[in-house]
Amino acid sequence: MKRTVKLLAVAMVALLMLPAVGASASTGTETEPSGVVVIVLAPYLTWQDVLGGTMPETSELAREGAIGNLNTCASARFTSTVTQTHAALTISASSSSASDASAPAAYSVTEHYEVGDAADAYDRFMGRNPGDSAVVFLGLPRIQRANESQTLDTQIGALGQAIHDAGGATAALGNSDYGYEVRQTWQSRPAALVAMDSEGLVDYGDVSAKLLMSDPDAPYGVSTDVEVMRFAFASAVRGVATDGGPGLVVVDPGDAERAQRFATDVADDVAVEHRVKANVKTDQIVGMVRDNLPADATLIVLSQIPATPESGPVGFAPLIVSGDGWKGVITTPSTHRVGITPELDIAPTVLAELGIARSVAMLGNAISSDGSSLSLDERVTELESLNTMAVAVDTVRLTVTNTYIGITIALLLVGTFFMLRIKRRRPAWAHKVFSLLRNGLLFMLCVPVSATLMYLVVPRPDSPSLVLLLLVGVSAVLWLAAIVVARRFGPGFAAGAVGLVTAFVLIVDQLLGAPLSFSGLFSYSPLWGARYYGIGNEGASILVGGGLVGVALMFDHFREARWVTPVKQWVLPVFALLVVAVTAAPFWGANVGVAAWGFAAFGIAWLQMNGHKVTWKMALLGVLSVVVIVGLFSVYDLSAAGDGGQTHLGRAWESAEEGGVSALWTIVARKAETNMRVLRASNWSYLLFAILGFLAYMRWRPHGDFADALNKYPNFGIAMTAALIGSLVGYFTEDSGIVIPALVMLYVAGSILYLMLSDAAAEQGEAA
């Protein structure tokens, strides 16, 4: 036993010392701190707008700078309809922000409000004078209450506050006000919300209607006056520069929001005309900003709200960054995917450009660029290809998963019914039905790995129909191969082979940098933004479940072979450590939770398959092993912070260092909240309940077949127990925990019923 423990320790260290392969994002070029960062908001923009000829200034900016796809899903975290207010608050906080539709807007201090001006109103609302601030956000108390009740640690105004704490200044210009009715208008002033500090104050600028001009042909009869904006921008830049510290200027061209809001009230061709004119106005303002930009400034143009597609999910939005050292395509540790960044990265990028450290409450990372020399057309083509694929996969994702869950549950129910009610009646047609059901289950076991393998056939499917065709086609090929294997070597070998192939494919994919896992039907979605790299909970569950069932059934198939005993004792723990390392290591799967529940599942399997009892001493040794693994991963991840390779694990420890135990507790609370939300919303819950019900019924109402199958496949019986305990640990340690037991136990329940139906089909065939 002592020799085994020593071997485990040596193997663990050896695996953890393996070189990282393709996990870190390229850091590309480095930039010197800027004195001023200017952000131009361009909602509803597309790359076709940029390249279409109507936006030459923006196109030139993209040509000389760095571009990327912006994921804006964080703004939708607490709302079904994203507004500029949601987007602006989320960008400023670098954390998903809640909003309140009743909250007043931001105002220039001299604007009329209620019985006086906005400065007086701010004093009434906040109990203090705004001082020399030029812009105030009167809705701050309502927004703060909304975030206190709905979010865990979102800090409103974190970006502006960090700049003020560093001795700098902020400015906001422009508005997207719309919808005149008698003497009332609806204010939309996102520039102020991006630039404000935690007190709702902005030092310079103007967000009032003074920046608008009468335009009878424009939406709501107004549009932004570029010449007035030019004067206001120059004044704001002078004011920020006069303060002598780092500065942020946020500009809202305004017309794009008005065109979007007005579109439902006009004819389609008029709406298109308004949209084109709004893009032209945005481009004019981008040109105006470039003409008046300080020499050391960084300019960011971002579409904080993506254009609404005619059908399917919302995709990525354009992001352009120009300045010293910005060239090519953007990269970020948040995604480890060149060309894609979440909106949570905008605030940390601004602070990095200004030489200011981001706060622990900011969830994003600073963006950089890869310095590539590809043409603008080539870069945009690549970004649009990523977007097209992500949208195509997500268009059918829900349909595929719901269909898969529904068919699997139906097979479990019908298969159980036939096993318990029809088998003993021995009708002549029974063996055909049993064969059909078992082959159906075998097909379902082939589907998850096929959802990864299909990208070997077409790496970037560009339509939902092609995604479905690839999934069904690759699944069918693997299924037919499994049927041939079953006829040649038996059903146990076939089910085990499917499990091992599943594990092998996912392991190799992670070792190669996860090229097949950009977007998967049984994996993470880059449009949802929960994860962009490594292996998600779905993939990890499929890997652990398939691998555990696969090795168990192979041990059962070759139980008489002399090599099985030493393989169980020595090779199984190495395989287990490989699975844990590949799924949990920061430089591979980066899903550290698997270190706990994956280790628990394989640890129990190894003990029982080798005739050892699970004692409290062994349990303690397992916990210590997990602590060691996580500790080694943490050391590596913290050391990777400087080269852009850090993952969520390192960020968690950095948060603890800066924010103390409360920061770690916030992370735990956030995961628990996500876990409960996923439990209520995910249809995987139904599959888990069906699986647990199936297993419980087989245990509590035995009819011999279940017990016979476990006697015939004793190692599989051990794997069943190990999978159940391991997935239970996973449920309590991961933030989408219900997915883990559902997918891990899928291989257990699907395989055992497949084996039972195979035996029943053979018996019925002989009887017939």
**pLDDT tens digits for range 546-586:** 999 999 999 999 999 999 999 999 999 999 999 999 998 88
Query: Mind giving me the DSSP string for 471-489?
Result: HHHHHHHHHHHHHHHHHHH
Residue 14 pLDDT greater than 60, yes or no: no
Least confident range of 46-55, 351-360, 639-648: 639-648
Helix axes 2-16, 616-639, angle to 10 degrees: 20
Residue 617's pLDDT is 83
Residue whose token pair is 């510290």: 245
Question: Who contacts 319 (Cβ-Cβ below 8 Å, separation ≥6)?
Answer: 67, 68, 69, 70, 300, 301, 302, 303, 330, 341
Residue 621's pLDDT is 84
**In terms of DSSP H, where are the helices of 458-571?**
464-489, 491-511, 537-557, 564-566
Q: How far apart, in whole angstroms, are the C-alpha atoms of residue 71 and residue 43?
A: 13
Decide which of 692 and 658 is more confident: 692
Q: How far apart, in whole angstroms, are the C-alpha atoms of residue 575 and residue 15?
A: 10
Residue 133's pLDDT is 97
Q: Name the residue among 625, 568, 637 with its Cα closest to residue 598.
A: 625
Residue 645 pLDDT greater than 80, yes or no: no
Residue 582's pLDDT is 94
Q: How far apart, in whole angstroms, are the C-alpha atoms of residue 423 and residue 408?
A: 21
Q: What is the pLDDT of residues 423-447, one digit of tens each?
A: 566 666 767 888 899 999 999 999 9
Q: Which helix (H) or strand (E) holds 170?
A: strand 169-173
Residue 667's pLDDT is 53
Q: Report, as an integer, the average pLDDT of 29-39.
A: 76
Residue 250's pLDDT is 98
Residue 25's pLDDT is 40
Q: Report, as an integer, the average pLDDT of 706-735.
A: 88
Least confident range of 3-7, 428-432, 572-576, 602-606: 3-7
Judge whether 315 and 309 are in contact, CB under 8 Å.
yes
Round the CA-based radius of gyration of the chain to a whole number and report it: 29
Q: Report, as an integer, the average pLDDT of 685-705.
A: 79
Residue 680's pLDDT is 57
Residue 64 identity: E
Q: Report, as an integer, the average pLDDT of 279-302.
A: 95
Residue 29's pLDDT is 53
Residue 287 pLDDT greater than 60, yes or no: yes
Highest mean pLDDT among 240-244, 360-364, 504-508, 635-639: 504-508
Residues of the chain with CATH 3.40.720.10: 36-374
Pairing relation of β-strands 112-113 and 328-331? unpaired
Q: What is the pLDDT of residues 389-424, one digit of tens each?
A: 999 999 999 999 999 999 999 999 998 888 776 656
Give the domain 36-374 fold: Alkaline Phosphatase, subunit A (3.40.720)
The pTM of the full predicted model, rounded to 2 decimals, is 0.89
Judge whether 133 and 201 are in contact, CB under 8 Å.
yes
Q: Report, as an integer, the average pLDDT of 175-192.
A: 80
Q: How far apart, in whole angstroms, are the C-alpha atoms of residue 87 and residue 157?
A: 13
Residue 180 pLDDT greater than 80, yes or no: no
Per-residue b or e along 36-71, where b marks 16 or more CB atoms closer than 10 Å to that residue's CB: bbbbbbbbbbbbebbbeeebebbbbbbbebbbbbbb
Q: How confident is the model at residue 383 (pLDDT cuts 50, 70, 90)?
A: very high
Residue 107 pLDDT greater than 90, yes or no: yes
Residue 280's pLDDT is 97
Residue 183's pLDDT is 47
Q: How far apart, in whole angstroms, are the C-alpha atoms of residue 766 and residue 764?
A: 5
